[in-house]
Amino acid sequence: MQIPQMRPWLGEEEQLAAARAIADGWISEGPRAADFAAQLNSLIGVPYGVFAPNGTQALYLALLAAGIGPGDEVLVPDITFIASANAVVFAGATPVFVDVEPKTFQIDVAACATAITPRTKAVMPVHLFGLSPDMDSLLELAQAHGLLIIEDAAQAIGVAYRGRHAGCFGTLGCFSFFADKTITTGEGGYVVCQDAAIYERLRLLRNQGRINRGSFVHEIVGTNMRITDIQAAIGLVQLAKLAQIVARKRDILCWYSEGLDGLAGVRLITPPAHIAAVPFRAVLIVEDAPDLMRHLESRGVQPRAFFYPLHRQPCFAHLGRDRERVVCLDDAQYPHALYGAEHGVLLPAYPELRAHQVRYICAAVREFYTA
Ligand SMILES: *Cc1c(COP(=O)(O)O)cnc(C)c1O
């Protein structure tokens, strides 16, 4: 048996929808994008949203719209996809890495509190693995220190924290529709906000500094962050399948939970009761992660390691040497991120994964620990 880490769930409906957009001759951002945006806003529970070419650009656009730039520091969890921090750098600001909590490896709010300086302008909670950080405490902290919240909800479409959708807690929230996310348009991103002035700024920034196409008077310097209606057509079909995708992913997590129950040395991360999670992958915390991964590969299963801690990334090493803005890159500050990186293993949880395949994967894990 061969089981990949991820497979986008695309079929004839997506093919037909894309073909129809092409046949209509509306291939740039148009009526389908407007419809997709309206449906996303209603799902997320926000009045405003704009597309971006991908999740990374969505974060960059959000940071620009929030007015974050040179001299500003943004708190970013040490465990996340590197795009979270890269967007901060592209906006001209400095990412400051903070440790994650050891239970679900989301940004640690207590660690955020100790990392705040007079230059801290924002915090970027990441809804990692389709879970959520402790948003209640984070909101309290942000309010107490006057920080903006820019949410990286790239992995969190469909995720709710105490009944509120991820991405609607902060000033801005960002989503990705990359091929391995919960719903996909191939590439694609989305930025939501609740403030009319921020929305106006998002629209100006993403459309060359003008609100309406066809006008050649530009109020500010902007750029082009459009998507295509071909992508939006695919997105509409994917969104219509979201409830089914979510149900399947939750089933898959249950199957893993049953299959690994009672196995010593293996902890499956499961969502706390107040989070309606959408498993991005099945996340295991194990002894001998590299050896387990090799074993799974030998059985035809494709595992993934955790993200590598940002404070150890070669591309950010200069942040610890820059005399103007010294960022703490000491291993001692990031015990939980390091633990996760050493012990974390991601297993497939894509919508088409069947129960017998999850049983096969769990049997392979069991075989490794009991042989
Ligand atoms: C995927 C992802 C991004 C970036 O999205 P792209 O669409 O790939 O640019 C950012 N942050 C997190 C946590 C992600 O998983």
The pLDDT tens digits of the residues spanning 93-141 come to 999 999 999 999 999 999 999 999 999 999 999 999 999 999 999 999 9
pLDDT of 324 higher than 70: no
Report how far residue 199's alpha carbon sits from residue 218's, in angstroms, rounded to the nearest whole number: 17
Nearest to 299 by CA among 359, 221, 217: 359
Nearest CA, atom 2, ligand 1: 154
Express each pLDDT in 251-267 by its tens digit: 999 999 999 999 999 99
pLDDT of 201 higher than 90: yes
Query: Ligand 1, closest atom to CA 188?
Result: 7
- List the single range of 79-93, 201-215, 313-327 with lowest mean pLDDT: 313-327
pLDDT of 198 higher than 80: yes
Q: What separation in angstroms does the CA of 25 have from each of 14, 32, 210, 213, 351?
A: 17, 12, 24, 18, 32
E-assigned strands of the chain?
Answer: 48-52, 73-77, 94-98, 120-123, 148-152, 160-161, 164-165, 172-176, 189-193, 266-268, 275-276, 282-286, 304-305, 344-347
Mean pLDDT of 224-244: 98
Q: In which element (H, E) is residue 202 found?
A: helix 196-206
Report how far residue 105's alpha carbon sits from residue 52's, in angstroms, rounded to the nearest whole number: 27
Banded pLDDT at 216 (limits 50, 70, 90): confident
Domains of the chain: 12-240 (3.40.640.10), 242-370 (3.90.1150.10)
Cα(302) to centroid(ligand 1), Å: 20
Cα(354) to centroid(ligand 1), Å: 26
Identify the pLDDT of residue 325.
67
Express each pLDDT in 344-359 by its tens digit: 999 999 999 999 999 9
Whole-model pTM above 0.85? yes
Query: Ligand 1, closest atom to CA 177?
Result: 7
Cα(136) to centroid(ligand 1), Å: 24
Residues with CB under 6 A from ligand 1: 54-56, 80-81, 83-84, 126, 152, 154-155, 176, 178, 189
pLDDT of 321 higher than 90: no
DSSP-derived secondary structure letter, 183: S
Q: What separation in angstroms does the CA of 86 have from each of 116, 241, 282?
A: 20, 31, 26
Cα(215) to centroid(ligand 1), Å: 32
Mean pLDDT of 274-299: 97
Mean pLDDT of 209-222: 87
Cα(369) to centroid(ligand 1), Å: 33
Mean pLDDT of 170-194: 98
Query: Ligand 1, closest atom to CA 280?
Result: 15
Cα(128) to centroid(ligand 1), Å: 10
Banded pLDDT at 215 (limits 50, 70, 90): confident
- The mean of the pLDDT values for the chain is 96
Q: Which of 5, 176, 182 to mutate to test the pocket of ligand 1 (most atoms within 8 A of CB)?
A: 176
Nearest CA, atom 5, ligand 1: 55
Identify the pLDDT of residue 106.
98
Cα(255) to centroid(ligand 1), Å: 27
Query: Angle of helix 289-298 relative to helix 355-370, nearest 10 degrees?
Result: 130
Q: Which residues contact 3 (CB under 8 A, 6 or more apart)?
A: 300, 301, 302, 348, 353, 357, 360, 361
Identify the pLDDT of residue 115.
95
φ and ψ at residue 90, rounded to 5 degrees: -65, -30
Find out whether 127 and 166 touch, Cβ atoms under 8 Å. Answer: yes
φ and ψ at residue 35, rounded to 5 degrees: -65, -45
Banded pLDDT at 323 (limits 50, 70, 90): low
Pull the structure tokens for residue 36.
């997709």
Place of tokens 């920080």: 147
Identify the pLDDT of residue 16.
98
Q: Which residues pair with 100 in a beta bridge?
A: 107
Find out whether 174 and 167 touch, Cβ atoms under 8 Å. Answer: yes
Report how far residue 113's alpha carbon sits from residue 123's, in angstroms, rounded to the nearest whole number: 10
Cα(216) to centroid(ligand 1), Å: 33
73-77 and 94-98 strand pairing: parallel
Mean pLDDT of 295-321: 95
Express each pLDDT in 59-78 by its tens digit: 999 999 999 999 999 999 99
Express each pLDDT in 157-179 by its tens digit: 999 999 999 999 999 999 999 99
Pull the structure tokens for residue 84.
């979270």
Mean pLDDT of 34-53: 98
Identify the pLDDT of residue 212.
79
Q: Which amino acid is at 75?
A: L
Q: Which of 80, 82, 155, 227 to mutate to test the pocket of ligand 1 (most atoms within 8 A of CB)?
A: 155
pLDDT of 32 higher than 90: yes
pLDDT of 301 higher than 70: yes
Cα(177) to centroid(ligand 1), Å: 8
Handedness of CA 163, 125, 117, 332 (dihedral sign): positive
Q: Which amino acid is at 59?
A: L
Q: Which of 80, 88, 152 to mutate to test the pocket of ligand 1 (most atoms within 8 A of CB)?
A: 152
